[in-house]
Amino acid sequence: TMYEGDQEPGRYYVGIDVGTGSVRAALVDQTGILLAFAEQPIKMWEPQFNYHEQSSEDIWAACCVVTKKVVQGINLNRIRGLGFDATCSLVVLDKQFHPLPVNREGDSCRNIIMWLDHRAVSQVHRINETKHSVLQYVGGVMSVEMQAPKLLWLKENLRETCWDKAGHFFDLPDFLSWKATGVTARSLCSLVCKWTYSAKKGWDDSFWKMIGLEDIIADNYNKIGNVVMPPGTSLGSGLTPEAAKDLGLPAGIAVAASLIDAHAGGLGMIGADVKGHGLTCEGQPITSRLAVICGTSSCHMGISKDPVFVPGVWGPYFSAMVPGFWLNEGGQSVTGKLIDHMVQGHAAFAELQAKATARCQSIYAYLNSHLDLIKKAQPVGFLTVDLHVWPDFHGNRSPLADLTLKGMVTGLTLSQDLDDLAILYLATVQAIAFGTRFIMEAMKAAGHSLSTLFLCGGLSKNPLFVQMHADITGVPVVLSQEVESVLVGAAILGACASGDFTSVQEAMAKMSKVGKVVFPRHEDKRYYDKKYQVFLKLVEHQKEYSKIMSGE
Ligand SMILES: Nc1ncnc2c1ncn2[C@@H]1O[C@H](COP(=O)(O)OP(=O)(O)O)[C@@H](O)[C@H]1O
Ligand SMILES: O=C(CO)[C@H](O)[C@H](O)COP(=O)(O)O
First to last CA, the chain: 72
How far apart (Å, rounded) are the C-alpha atoms in residues 436 and 470?
10
Q: Which residues pair with 92 in a beta bridge?
A: 169
How far apart are alpha carbons 410 and 290 in whole angstroms? 30
Q: Identify which of 280, 271, 288, 263 has the alpha carbon closest to the alpha carbon of residue 447.
A: 288
Q: Say yes or no: CB of residue 115 within 6 Å of ligand 2.
A: yes
Q: What percent of the chain has pLDDT over 70?
A: 98
Q: Does the structure show a pLDDT above 60 at 7?
A: no
Looking at the chain, the whole-number percentage of residues with pLDDT higher than 90 is 98
In a domain, 137, yes or no: no
Domain annotation covers residue 153 = no
Task: Determine the 3-state secondary structure of 305 from DSSP.
Answer: coil
* Residue 10 pLDDT > 90: no
- Residue range 486-512: average pLDDT? 97
Nearest Cα residue to 325 out of 315, 313, 312: 315
Mean pLDDT in residue range 427-456: 98
Backbone angles phi, psi at 239, to 5 degrees: -65, 125
Residue 4's pLDDT is: 45
Q: Is the separation of the CB atoms in 390 and 538 below 8 Å?
A: yes
CA-proximal residue: ligand 2, atom 6 (nearest): 297
Assess whether pLDDT exceeds 70 at residue 453: yes
CB 295 near ligand 2, within 6 Å: yes
Q: What are phi and psi of 445, to 5 degrees?
A: -60, -30
Average model confidence (pLDDT) across the chain: 97
* 9 against 328, higher pLDDT: 328
Indicate the SS3 state at residue 106: coil
Contact 38, 57 (CB under 8 A): no
- This prediction's pTM: 0.97
pLDDT in tens, 217-254: 999 999 999 999 999 999 999 999 999 999 999 999 99
Residue 194: DSSP 8-state: H
Distance 6 CA to ligand 1 centre (A): 39
261 C-beta closer than 6 A to ligand 2? yes
Q: Are 127 and 142 in contact (CB under 8 A)?
A: yes
Q: Is 86 in the pocket of ligand 2 (CB under 6 A)?
A: no
Q: Which of 22, 52, 88, 329 is the best mutation target for the ligand 2 pocket, counting ligand atoms within 8 Å of the beta carbon and taking the most?
A: 88
Ligand nearest the Cα of residue 321 is 2
28 within a domain of the structure (yes/no): no
E strand map for 117-258? 166-171, 186-187, 228-229, 254-255
- What is the pLDDT averaged over residues 309-317? 98
3-state secondary structure labels for all residues of 12-60 = EEEEEEECCCEEEEEEEECCCCEEEEEEEECCCECCCCCCCEECHHHHH
What tens digit of pLDDT does each residue of 155-192 get? 999 999 999 999 999 999 999 999 999 999 999 999 99
CA distance 169 to 228: 14
Cα gap 18→259, rounded to integer Å: 11
Q: 295 C-alpha vs ligand 1 centroid, how far in Å?
A: 5
For the chain, the domain total comes to 1
Q: Identify the pLDDT of residue 536.
A: 98
Q: Identify the residues whose C-beta falls under 6 Å from ligand 1.
A: 19-22, 295-296, 336-337, 339-340, 362, 364, 457-459, 461-462
pLDDT of 8 higher than 60: no
**CA proximity to 476, closest of 532, 515, 509:** 515
Determine the residue type at 406: K
Choice from 85, 87, 114 to test ligand 2 binding pocket (greatest atom count within 8 A of CB):
87
DSSP 495-545: HHHHTSSSSHHHHHHHH-BEEEEE---GGGHHHHHHHHHHHHHHHHHHHHH
Burial of 45 (0-12, 13-18, 19+ CB in 10 A): middle
**Count of CB atoms situated within 10 Å of the CB of 323:** 15
Going by CA atoms, what residue is nearest to atom 26 of ligand 1?
Answer: 336
Partner residues linked to 256 by β-bridges: 234
Q: What is the pLDDT of residue 6?
A: 45
Please count the CA atoms within 13 angstroms of the CA of 292 that sit on its side-chain side.
33
For position 451, which CATH number holds?
3.30.420.40
pLDDT of 303 over the 50 cut: yes
Arithmetic mean of pLDDT, 472-497: 97
Tell me if 88 CB under 6 Å of ligand 2: yes
User: Which phi and psi (to 5°) does residue 193 adopt?
Assistant: -80, -30
Residue 514 lies in a domain: yes
Measured from the CB, is residue 207 less than 6 Å from ligand 2?
A: no
Q: Give CA–CA dist 263/462, Å, rounded.
A: 21
pLDDT digits over 183-223, tens only?
999 999 999 999 999 999 999 999 999 999 999 999 999 99
Q: What is the pLDDT of residue 9?
A: 67
Residue 253 Cα, ligand 2 centroid: separation in angstroms? 28
Q: Starting at the edge strand that comes first in sequence, how are the strands of the sheet with 326-332 ordered? A: 314-318, 326-332, 298-304, 289-294, 452-456, 477-480, 514-518
Closest atom, ligand 1, to C-alpha of 21: 23
Ligand 2 centroid to 376 CA: how many Å? Answer: 38
How many A from CA of 429 to the centre of ligand 2?
18
pLDDT class of 552 with cuts at 50, 70, 90: low
Q: Are 239 and 64 in contact (CB under 8 A)?
A: no
Tell me if 101 sits within 8 A of 111, measured CB to CB: yes
Of 92, 27, 93, 24, nearest to 62 by C-alpha is: 24
**DSSP E strands, 364-419:** 388-390, 408-410
* Residue 304, ligand 2, Cβ within 6 A: no
CA dihedral of residues 273, 276, 277, 279 (deg, nearest 10): 80
Measured CA distances, 78 to 7, 57, 310, 490 (Å) = 11, 28, 44, 17
What digits encode the pLDDT tens for the residues 57-101? Answer: 999 999 999 999 999 999 999 999 999 999 999 999 999 999 999
Q: Is 474 left (phi over 0), alpha (psi -120 to 50) or beta?
A: left
Nearest-Å Rg of the Cα atoms of the chain is 23
Q: How many C-beta neighbours within 10 Å does residue 373 have? A: 10
Q: Is the dihedral of CA 62, 64, 67, 71 positive or negative?
A: negative
Ligand nearest to the CA of 464: 1
Residue 260 and residue 84 in contact, taking contact as beta carbons nearer than 8 Å: no
Residue 491 domain flag: yes
Q: Is there a domain that residue 63 lies in?
A: no
Q: Summarize the confidence of residues 13-27 as an average pLDDT.
A: 98
In a domain, 176, yes or no: no
Q: How many CA atoms lie within 13 A of 314 on its CB side?
A: 28
For residue 5, pLDDT over 80 is answered with no
Backbone φ, ψ for residue 456 (5° rounding): -150, 180
Q: State the average pLDDT over residues 310-333.
A: 98
Residue-range definition of the domain harbouring residue 515: 286-331+438-522
Q: Evaluate whether residue 354 is within a structural domain.
A: no
- Ligand in closest contact with the CA of 342: 1
